[in-house]
Structure 1
Amino acid sequence: MFQERAENIKSFDGNELFFRVYTPAKKEQRESKLDGVVLAVHGFGEHSGRYAHVARAVCSKNLAFAIFDIRGHGKSGPTRGDAENLHAMVLDVIFMTNHVKEILGLTKQKNSFFGLFGHSFGSLLATYAAAHLADSCPPLFLSSPCYGVKQNIPVWKKFLATKVAKFLPNLVAPIGIPPNSLSNNPENNEAARHDHLILTHITARMGSTFLGALDEKKIVQAIRLIRAPATVVAASDDKLVKIEVTKKCVPYFSHNDSSFKVIEGAGHEIFNETEQCRSQAISDLLKWIEKSG
């Protein structure tokens, strides 16, 4: 059993981010305090409401699960489908890292666990944030990290993002991610198709932000700066990101406790996969908590 609390939080620049915290349900007030928290950063186009089942698993370990709608996604500002730049999105992750520690009292509580979990584009944002956090960076769990895009981006979309965005930043274009490419679980893909909070269109400026974040040299440079252990879990049948780029980047995680694993038969959304792959992904997440705690 777990309980959810949701609210709008003003980020570093006053922009409102929709924020959820899941905590274990307690029958009595005198029950033990939380043993820590996992802060999650969701993927591009999706939203925080798609992780309740992951939160349930984390809460079963007497931990809180915190997650927010990243800038321009879900119920977060400034405008749906838009974000000023990558810098602002990364600073949101750093801001939320500090905010979550503060509200759950982890800054005063010794021996409590704090971990940063990212999925897909959220893994990429977490990677950049971790490089800036330096010695204060928590352990990382990065699932299906978006270090390279598998599907070909049409030339006209690249033109919008690289040229037009400077003059018409709010021009809107479709994302074009087929729901069937999300996973090998038809039920998940169909649910995503009808989820009105999943983005279908973004601004040219958001497209520019996304493409700019995928610079492999910048990604490797960021990974080299990360001092915390990273657990990277990829999907063998990922139709959205290039697993070969992930494999290429993983060796640059220098911490001795870092690890890499591929879930065979899984599609991109490993936590929304068919039961066997989904159970494996959740098991890997809980093992990461146990190992890092």
Structure 2
Amino acid sequence: MRQEQQKTFISHDGCQLFYRYWPAIDNNCGKDRAIVIFHRGHEHSGRVAHLADELELPDYQIFAWDARGNGQSAGERGDAPNFATLIKDAHCFIQHIKQEYHFCDQDIAVIAQSVGAVIAAAWAHDYVPNIRALVLASPAFSVKLYVPFAVSGLKLLYNLKGNFFVNSYVKPKLLTHDASRAQSFTQDPLITRPISVRLLLDLYAVADRIVQDANAITVPTQLLVSGSDYVVRRKPQQQFYENLGTAQKELHILPGFYHDTLGEKDRHFAIDRARRFIVGCFANPINVPCLVNADLVGYTRQEADNLTMPPVGLIKPLYWKFIQTSLRYASKMSDGIKLGFDTGFDSGSTLDYVYQNQPSGSSKLGQFFDYIYLQSIGWRGIRQRKVHLEALLKQTILQLQQQNQSVNIVDIAAGHGRYIIETINQIAHKPNSVLLRDYCDINIRDGQALIQQQGLTDIVRFEKGDAFSRQELAQLSPQPNLAVVSGLYELFSDNQLLRESLSGLADVMSEGEYLIYTNQPWHPQLEFIARALTSHRDGQPWIMRRRTQLEMDQLVSEAGFQKITMSVDQWGIFTVSLAQRIKK
């Protein structure tokens, strides 16, 4: 029997989370390996503690957490600010394990069940860890609520009255045929039956995104699906499996199993498969696909190509014509929509307008149209990207200053430079120099006006420059030790442009200096943007090719930078990453 240790760690926002740790008892392989277990919704790590012995992997160290708001972890019972908070908690948990117990990503396998499986899958998608294996048992990609239009009704009530809680309808007898385990569920004082509607609705949204974009997950993945599951639907599980981007994947349907797959009466069938899969993945060499040419071949290339084709059928062309006409009509009254058509919806001017987030129009109706426009999911993601960017800027500037280094910043495609300028004005100890560059004369003009308005002409200057010219970037003066590329690479599909840009920054920067870069691995409105909005490039349709986070990180690594950390918004649309120049 393993000896359990009870521990805690501090997550990203100061929340203290509880976990259990079972050290290895027979390290025959001579290598440190770890299995991390994520429990089912409403439950806690004590409910999966039996797996520490039943996995029969004595040479593996095993960890299991209590998710925020569950078990012995802090947080309001059954609640969190959003589902992305739980995903980031999971990332912090893995980072804690790596630092505290001296593991690398490749030393870790994850076993997760139900809601925990959605957390684990989303973490693998968003943070692209290079772990060995992912075992997902009955992932709750779609919970059966049984009441007609239940999700729509909950959304309506949530919008009308704010957050509230609902109790789980699931009876223990619908979870497992194991009578003793069902009874223990009823008697367990740490079971959290209520769940907030905010979190439940967010679970649906995140699950939809992960199922649709599972191709971005390249970790070897095994699905264990209960054959008689009364809690979650099987179809999304099968769609997720079909969409998975790894060649090393398995789907096992376990006949007669209820939802608690790893706590069923005959759970040894599931556990045997999980054990064999994990051992096999550790026996195989690590195989991370190379995505630096995904602009030429791959599913995001195909997705972008499809958007260049006109809509087919009778209804779709008429629908998009109606949308285009409606937007043109709204642009006569809405200042933001008009600016988008005048300068491009992807222009620096539009971005600056979105940052300010002040609805404006020629009438009350125009202001209302502008408000709706500014509240679109993409623009909300842009503003959250700004928040993450400013936080990472402040953190990196402070770190350089604590190392007694002069801080010289360059933003190679700054737009109006608002996020840089506002960040500089918020910190007490200013950088030595800030160079803002852009190719657009309008951006340079308005950026220079903003610099003067903010009283920063002594340290901030704006110049015209090509962000894709390796030669120009390699000759930047003063030499930057903090480079920023925000919102640029997302607009260009061609990876060769990024190679030139990143190589120029690598040429001018020394070992240990920092790069902040953004990415857009996901967007729920790609077709709307392609069919209805225009680009700054000659008013052409704004067609974007998404880059998975792995593709973007590999391009950065190829240029000579090592990623350190990353933030992602709650919708999974935009990421902001920090990397460091490694030895030339």
Aligned counterparts of 1:168 and 1:158: Cα–Cα separation in 2:
14
Number of equivalences: 282
Structure 1 residue 286 corresponds to structure 2 residue 280: no
Tell me how far 1:32 sits from its aligned partner: 8.2
Answer yes or no: is the 8 Å Cα contact 1:119–1:142 preserved in 2. yes
Residue 223 of structure 2 is matched in structure 1 by 232
Asked which structure has the greater RCO (Cα within 8 Å, sep 6+), the reply is 1
Q: Structure 2 counterpart of 1:128, which letter?
A: A
Question: CA offsets, 1:203-224, max 9 Å, x none?
Answer: 3333333343343xx1223412
> How much does 1:186 deviate?
2.5
Q: Which residue of 1 aligns with 2:245?
A: 254
Q: Which ranges in structure 2 are unaligned for 5 or more consecutive residues?
A: 283-584
The two structures have a TM-score, normalised by structure 2, of 0.45
The corresponding residue for 1:61 is 58
Provide the residue aligned with 1:10 in structure 2.
10
Provide the rounded CA distance (Å) in 2 between the counterparts of 1:166 and 1:20: 40
Q: 1:208 to 1:147 in 2, by over 3 A?
A: closer
Q: Is the 8 A contact 1:137 1:227 kept in 2?
A: no
Number of the residue aligned with 1:72 = 69
Rg larger in 1 or in 2? 2
Q: State the distance in 2 between where 1:209 and 1:53 align.
A: 30
- State the Cα distance separating 1:278 from its structure 2 match: 1.0
Pairing of 1:206-225 with structure 2 (within 5 A): 206-215=199-208, 218-225=209-216
- Map of 2:563 onto structure 1: none
Are the counterparts in 2 of residues 135 and 227 from structure 1 also a CA contact under 8 Å? Answer: no
Distance 2:74 2:201 in 1: 18
CA distance in 1, matches of 2:46, 2:159: 30
Deviation at 1:239, TM superposition (A): 1.4
> In the alignment, which residue of structure 2 is the partner of 1:243?
234
- Say which SS state the counterpart of residue 115 (structure 1) adopts: strand
Aligned CA distance change for structure 1 residues 24 and 143 (closer, same or farther; 3 Å) = same
Q: Quote how far apart the aligned CAs of 1:34 are.
A: 5.7
Distance in 2 (CA, whole Å) between partners of 1:207 and 1:69 is: 18
Give the secondary-structure state (helix, strand or coil) at the position aligned to 2:3.
strand
Structure 1, unaligned runs of 5 or more: none
Identity of aligned residues (%): 23
Alpha-carbon deviations, 1:106-129, whole Å to 9, x = none?
A: 139xxx731011101111111110
- Of 119, 123, 127 in structure 2, the residue corresponding to residue 133 of structure 1 is 127
Q: Secondary structure at 2:103's aligned position in 1?
A: coil
Residue number in structure 2 paired with 1:36 = 33
Q: Following the alignment from structure 2 to structure 1, what is the Cα–Cα distance between the partners of residues 17 and 202?
A: 18
Cα distance between partner residues in 2 of 1:162 and 1:212? 15
Supply the AA of the counterpart residue of 1:193: T
**Alignment-derived partner of residue 122 in structure 1:** 116
Of 223-232 and 171-180, the range deviating more from structure 2? 171-180
* Residue in structure 1 matched with residue 260 of structure 2 by the alignment: 269
Question: Which amino acid in structure 2 is aligned with residue 13 of structure 1?
Answer: D
Report the residue type matching 1:147 in the other structure: F
**Residue 90 (structure 1) aligned to one of 87, 91, 94:** 87
**Change beyond 3 A, Cα 1:162–1:7:** farther
Q: Which deviates the most, 132-141 or 193-202?
A: 132-141
- How far the C-alpha of 1:244 sits from its partner, in A, is 2.7
User: CA-to-partner distance for each residue in 1:115-153, whole Å, 9 max, x for gaps?
Assistant: 011101111111110012225344211111111223415
For 1:195 and 1:265, the matched residues in 2 are separated by 25
